[in-house]
Amino acid sequence: MRRMQSPATALLLVNQRAYKLPVHPTVVVCVDGCEPDYLAQAVASGHMPWLKRTLAQGVALRADCTLPSFTNPNNLSIVTGVPPSVHGISGNYFLNPASGEAIMMNDPQWLRCPSILAEAARAGMSVAVVTAKDKLRALLGHGLRGICFSAECADAATLADQGIDAVMDLVGRAKPSVYSAELSEFVFAAGVRLMQTRRPDLMYLSTTDYVQHKHAPGTPQANDFYAMLDGYMAQLEELGCVVALTADHGMHAKTRMDGTPQVIYLSDWLHTYLQRNDGRVILPITDPYVVHHGALGSFATLYLPAGVSAHAVCAALSQETGIDCALPRDQAAGVLQLPADRIGDVVVLADRFTVLGTTPAAHDLSGLDVPLRSHGGRGEQGVPLIVNRPAPLLDRKRQWRNFDVFDIALNYAQ
């Protein structure tokens, strides 16, 4: 299907939301783990001149991400414009009710709706997606006729599968380690090169939170990262782009005052509560790259043995120090906008200072060389929502979500 109207009037309908097709090349950037304080500290210390100007002249909102405040659910919310209750990606990892197996949620078979990117490409727009880690590529690129590759596997990109080849020549940088700030820099560098050489109508760039898991806002390493980001955003702006920046989730220290991780081990808790070794705990933060957080996040789901009251479990859990809230399935699905068939009998959220595990033996924390920083709960819901152009018609008092970023960029800021 080709777009028949002029770009200024054509509307794209995706998941019951309407988007104007871009007049200017539009770049949406998801900065993984970008707690707003990273920006405040970096701007205040003079590391982000582009952002300082943009905050004064463009759109500068604080928005809420979706829960769980994890990478996959939020990246998919951003590119679909809807919460996990609609798109179906409830975590990085989940218990498949059909098989009883706990598996990664990287496969597009779990996605329940199309993305704005795929639909824009179908309407005749040229679309490019660059993600840091390869784990997101298949989900972000599902149904997309265009360019979609990861920095992690950039050297393996082919025209047939990723819509582009010779990426290493295009970017002109060495392939970075998956645990590095350079993995995210590769995403930005690739985005700028794509804009210089192919000028896509719509581009989505998604980084990794390696730096944010290790370094607090205002530290030299964090400020260096954001100075790097600022330079690439300035280049995209110079290329005439509408640049919109948001995050998948925030990030907080999750430690006791002695610097050790503050963890509630839910399998141990459940076995004590039930007085037997039964039930199952799923940690949806789990992914193949756990060195920097040990699979400890502030969100978990419980599968209870038959006959055990979810309400009673929630009441008991809510008494524990460090628990923000525990909700039975239906309530969690409604209040937190989650797919009811993918979240277990109970959803547990830990507070700003606390993470959830299964048992101490199941979490390898030997790779943690700094005090634990992580995310997953309501404490990490606040994220930036920034666009480099003014949007005078925007209702700034509304509670915006990170998955409104395409709405603002395309409908208000062109």
User: In angstroms, rounded to a whole number, what is the distance separating the alpha carbons of residues 105 and 192?
Assistant: 30
Please identify, using beta-carbon distances, which residue of 156 and 291 lies nearer to Zn ion: 291
Please identify, using beta-carbon distances, which residue of 170 and 338 lies nearer to Zn ion: 338
Please identify, using beta-carbon distances, which residue of 78 and 347 lies nearer to Zn ion: 78
Please identify, using beta-carbon distances, which residue of 32 and 407 lies nearer to Zn ion: 32
Say whether residue 237 binds Zn ion (CB under 5 A).
Answer: no
Q: Return the range that interacts with Zn ion (CB under 5 A); candidates 114-122, 248-256, 257-265, 325-333.
A: 248-256
The set of residues, in sequence order, having a beta carbon less than 8 Å from that of 322 and lying 6+ positions away, is 262, 264, 350, 351, 353, 354
Q: Return the range that interacts with Zn ion (CB under 5 A); candidates 178-186, 243-251, 336-344, 349-357.
A: 243-251
Q: Return the range that interacts with Zn ion (CB under 5 A); candidates 64-72, 169-177, 315-323, 329-337.
A: 64-72
Say whether residue 201 binds Zn ion (CB under 5 A).
Answer: no
- Least distance to Zn ion, CB of residue 93, Å: 13
Say whether residue 380 binds Zn ion (CB under 5 A).
Answer: no
Say whether residue 152 binds Zn ion (CB under 5 A).
Answer: no
Compose the 207-226 pattern: x for residues touching Zn ion by CB under 5 A, - for all others. --x-----------------
User: In angstroms, rounded to a whole number, what is the distance separating the alpha carbons of residues 222 and 211?
Assistant: 7
Q: Are 214 and 370 in contact (CB under 8 A)?
A: yes
Nearest residue to 189 via CA among 127, 242, 236, 222? 236
Q: Return the range that interacts with Zn ion (CB under 5 A); candidates 67-75, 167-175, 293-301, 343-351.
A: 67-75
Length of the chain, please? 414
- Least distance to Zn ion, CB of residue 101, Å: 24
Say whether residue 32 binds Zn ion (CB under 5 A).
Answer: yes
- Least distance to Zn ion, CB of residue 274, Å: 33
Please identify, using beta-carbon distances, which residue of 33 and 141 lies nearer to Zn ion: 33
Q: Return the range that interacts with Zn ion (CB under 5 A); candidates 71-79, 162-170, 174-182, 225-233.
A: 71-79
- Least distance to Zn ion, CB of residue 71, Å: 3
Q: Return the range that interacts with Zn ion (CB under 5 A); candidates 60-68, 77-85, 247-255, 284-292.
A: 247-255
Say whether residue 71 binds Zn ion (CB under 5 A).
Answer: yes
- Least distance to Zn ion, CB of residue 298, Å: 13
Kindly determine how many residues on this chain lie close enough to bind Zn ion according to the rule CB under 5 A: 4
Peptide bond into 68 cis (omega under 30): yes
Q: Look up residue 62 and give its amino acid.
A: R
Determine the residue with CB nearest Zn ion: 71
Residues that bind Zn ion (CB under 5 A): 32, 71, 209, 248
